[in-house]
Amino acid sequence: MEANKPGGILFVLSAPSGTGKTTVANLVLEVVDGLRKTVSHTTRKMRDGEESGVDYHFVDEARFRSMIDAGEFVEWAQIFGNYYGTSSREIELSLGRGQDLLLVIDVQGAASVRAMDWAQSCSIFLLPPGMDELERRLVGRGLDSPENIRIRLEAARGELSHQGEFDHKVINDQLSRAVEEVENIIQAERHRRRGQ
Ligand code: ADP
Ligand code: 5GP
């Protein structure tokens, strides 16, 4: 898409793993009209309760690599051993139609999207209240081994140092308050850019 073409706004929500971005994003999608989450491609295994085409497009590594080679991703990253990527086609079609999108991606991916200098984008960094609480959430989520949790906490320290590069910061302490804050940012951006 041309940088200045009028269209939808690309909202990017990012945070270290375990902060609560999936939880916050799902609640934001319930309360904000006209906002759609993009469905990423990933090579990681489907978890219980996930649906193909809804949570992710689940593909094998060969397919993912062929998509990289064909230039089909706006950004992609290897995160904790699996590949994740956002397809350009999905984003361009939606934004071109004036559809606002919510991209829920890791901190590396958010940096790639920012580097593209999309005119109509807005980045939000979600912060954990502290490292102890982040560890509690990772343990409480019950998806990762102690070794994986250690790796995620280590990565989080580096990722937190990038928070200043985002347009907005929101602390995910009390969930309802964090959701409301993200909602307010989205509505304010819409108003500012489109008088909506
Ligand atoms: P992420 O998508 O950033 O990796 P998740 O949305 O999976 O994080 O959340 C990680 C864990 O933290 C989940 O078990 C979730 O229920 C919990 N969680 C999310 N937000 C909060 C919050 N504000 N307070 C307490 N626990 C939370
Ligand atoms: P999970 O495996 O827990 O669903 O996601 C792991 C991490 O990958 C999360 O931080 C999530 O936001 C991120 N992620 C999901 N989709 C994408 C994507 O398309 N690109 C990038 N860069 N990260 C993604």
Q: Is residue 2, in this structure, part of any structural domain at all? A: no
Q: List per-residue pLDDT tens for the chain, 196 residues long.
A: 444 446 899 999 999 999 999 999 999 999 999 999 999 999 999 988 999 999 999 999 999 999 999 999 999 999 989 999 999 998 999 999 999 999 999 999 999 998 887 778 999 999 999 999 999 999 999 989 999 999 999 999 999 999 999 999 999 999 999 999 999 999 999 999 887 6
Q: Is residue 4, in this structure, part of any structural domain at all? A: no
Q: Is residue 87, in this structure, part of any structural domain at all? A: yes
Closest ligand 1 atom number to CA of residue 25: 6
Q: Is the CB of 130 under 6 A from ligand 1?
A: no
Nearest ligand atom owner, CA of 88:
2
Ligand 1 center–CA 28 separation, angstroms: 14
Q: Is residue 53, in this structure, part of any structural domain at all? A: yes
| pLDDT on residue 114 | 87
Q: Is residue 95, in this structure, part of any structural domain at all? A: yes
| pLDDT on residue 11 | 97
Domain that holds residue 14: 10-194
Nearest to 168 by CA among 130, 129, 125, 128: 125
The answer to whether the Cα torsion of 105, 111, 117, 119 is positive or negative is: positive
Instruction: Please state the length of the chain.
Output: 196
Q: Is the CB of 18 under 6 A from ligand 1?
A: yes
CATH code, domain carrying 149 = 3.40.50.300
Alpha carbons 155 and 137: distance in angstroms, whole number: 15
Ligand 1 center–CA 146 separation, angstroms: 17
Tokens representing residue 42 in the block: 């990933």
Ligand 2 center–CA 195 separation, angstroms: 32
Number of domain units in the chain: 1
Tokens representing residue 50 in the block: 């996930």
Q: Is the CB of 43 under 6 A from ligand 1?
A: no
The answer to whether the Cα torsion of 176, 126, 82, 87 is positive or negative is: positive
Ligand 2 center–CA 104 separation, angstroms: 7
Q: Is residue 1, in this structure, part of any structural domain at all? A: no
Q: Is residue 5, in this structure, part of any structural domain at all? A: no
For 18-173, where are the E strands, in sequence order? 35-37, 40-42, 56-58, 73-79, 82-87, 100-105, 121-127, 168-171
